[in-house]
């Protein structure tokens, strides 16, 4: 299961980075064609469904806790663990744009320093999605982590206060409501917490069935068929939300549903998303492990290259290659020194 989940994280971060490539490939013809029929913003839904699934898995351990004080202690430990996991890479990579903005005063590239200060502090307190409504910019991608942290704070409290059955019922109602209506109007795309609810509900669906038995009886297919089906699902996750742009609210729900199917297949432990040749799988595992570090650093690294290449006659192709290579270099450094040590602790 773990390797398949890491494979899904690989596809999710690939989607996110592909979406953001418009920053470094603004006039590329091939990229423009691919973007014309796809919207890989749905990679965020895939990340969120995975997060919701494992949050429910964690909260299920509280079923034997009866004391209120013990529940509070458990929640505090859960929050501390989440903060230790997310904060070091996030805080480092929101600090970098702030420093460049203050030192260079290059407002065309880094935004005015007063706005960067606002984004810095709203990121620290995990309110970036609220702040981003008023001052959008190239560094707004941190809204997703703020939303995830808000969900990880509120959902466990409701779960422990109301109990599992009521929480599941409320989750179902909210998912159905957000299929047709989303509050906040235009900025609603930064408040789509329902994918995490889909993931939380999926956990209880999975828990209710013997998936290994079902997989052995109904999914006796060869590796080639697994590859075809898995790639079809992943490509559908990129294309279908774009095709549903005219039904704006439903496209997010559709992306959440498709992501849930992917996660369901991943946790069935039949190597659905890891049926590729070994060399390809190794690349998928490697990038999947570093998906969070890649998410945190990719845009700041790209802008650092923009900053240092200004005033130099560097061909666009060489600049893009440098940006991609350094993105992976800094992701590896972030993973080794800012993410992995705190994950272990």
- The predicted-structure confidence for 64-112, as pLDDT tens digits, reads as follows 787 888 888 999 999 999 999 999 999 999 999 999 999 999 988 998 9
pLDDT score of 71 = 85
Element (H, E) at 322: helix 316-334
Count of C-beta atoms within a 10 Å radius of residue 175: 18
pLDDT score of 345 = 62
- The predicted-structure confidence for 250-271, as pLDDT tens digits, reads as follows 999 999 999 999 999 999 888 8
- The predicted-structure confidence for 142-182, as pLDDT tens digits, reads as follows 999 999 999 999 999 999 889 899 999 999 999 999 999 88
Separation of alpha carbons 118 and 272, rounded Å: 43
292 pLDDT higher than 80: yes
pLDDT score of 262 = 97
Gyration radius from the chain CA atoms: 21
pLDDT score of 82 = 92
Separation of alpha carbons 8 and 46, rounded Å: 8
- The predicted-structure confidence for 127-136, as pLDDT tens digits, reads as follows 999 988 877 7
The mean pLDDT of 9-14, rounded to a whole number, is 98
| Cβ within 8 Å of residue 157, ≥6 positions away | 75
- The predicted-structure confidence for 183-238, as pLDDT tens digits, reads as follows 777 778 889 999 999 999 999 999 888 776 766 666 678 889 899 999 999 999 99
Q: Are 199 and 263 in contact (CB under 8 A)?
A: yes
pLDDT score of 105 = 94
Separation of alpha carbons 8 and 218, rounded Å: 22
Per 3-state DSSP, the chain is made up of helix, strand and coil in percentages (nearest 5) of 80, 0, 20
| Cβ within 8 Å of residue 275, ≥6 positions away | 223, 224, 226, 227, 230
Confidence bin at 139 (pLDDT 50/70/90): confident
344 pLDDT higher than 70: no
123 pLDDT higher than 90: yes
pLDDT score of 57 = 93
Q: Provide, rounded to the nearest whole percent, the portion of the chain with pLDDT above 70.
A: 97
- The predicted-structure confidence for 23-76, as pLDDT tens digits, reads as follows 999 889 999 999 999 999 999 999 999 999 999 999 988 877 878 888 889 999
The mean pLDDT of 10-34, rounded to a whole number, is 95
């Amino acid at each position: 299961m773990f390797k398949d989940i890491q494979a899904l994280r690989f596809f999710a971060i690939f989607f996110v980075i592909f979406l953001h490539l418009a920053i470094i490939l603004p006039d590329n013809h091939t990229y423009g064609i691919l973007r014309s029929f796809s919207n890989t913003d749905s990679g965020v839904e895939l990340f969120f469904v995975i997060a919701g699934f494992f949050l429910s898995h964690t909260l299920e351990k509280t079923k034997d806790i009866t004391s209120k004080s013990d529940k509070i202690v458990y929640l505090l430990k859960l929050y501390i663990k989440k903060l230790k996991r997310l904060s070091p890479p996030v805080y480092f990579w929101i600090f970098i744009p702030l420093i460049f903005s203050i030192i260079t005063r290059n407002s065309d590239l880094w935004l005015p320093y007063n706005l960067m200060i606002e984004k810095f502090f709203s990121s620290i307190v995990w309110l970036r999605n609220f702040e981003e409504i008023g001052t959008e910019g190239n560094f707004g991608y941190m809204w997703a982590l703020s939303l995830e942290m808000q969900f990880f704070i509120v959902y466990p409290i409701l779960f422990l206060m109301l109990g599992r059955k009521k929480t599941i019922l409320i989750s179902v109602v909210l998912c159905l409501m957000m299929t047709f209506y989303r509050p906040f109007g235009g900025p609603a795309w930064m408040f789509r917490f329902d994918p995490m609810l889909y993931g939380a509900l999926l956990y209880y669906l999975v828990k209710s069935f013997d998936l290994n038995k079902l997989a052995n009886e109904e999914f006796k297919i060869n590796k080639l068929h697994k590859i075809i089906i898995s790639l079809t699902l992943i490509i559908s996750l990129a294309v279908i939300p774009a095709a549903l742009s005219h039904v704006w609210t439903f496209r997010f729900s559709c992306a959440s549903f498709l992501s849930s199917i992917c996660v369901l297949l991943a946790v069935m432990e039949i190597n659905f998303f890891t049926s590729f040749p070994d060399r390809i799988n190794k690349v998928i595992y490697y990038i999947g492990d570093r998906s969070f570090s890649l998410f945190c650093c990719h845009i700041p690294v790209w802008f650092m290259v923009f900053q240092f290449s200004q005033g130099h006659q560097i061909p666009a192709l060489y600049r893009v290659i440098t940006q991609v290579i350094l993105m992976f270099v800094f992701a590896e450094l972030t993973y080794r020194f800012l993410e992995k040590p705190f994950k272990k602790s």
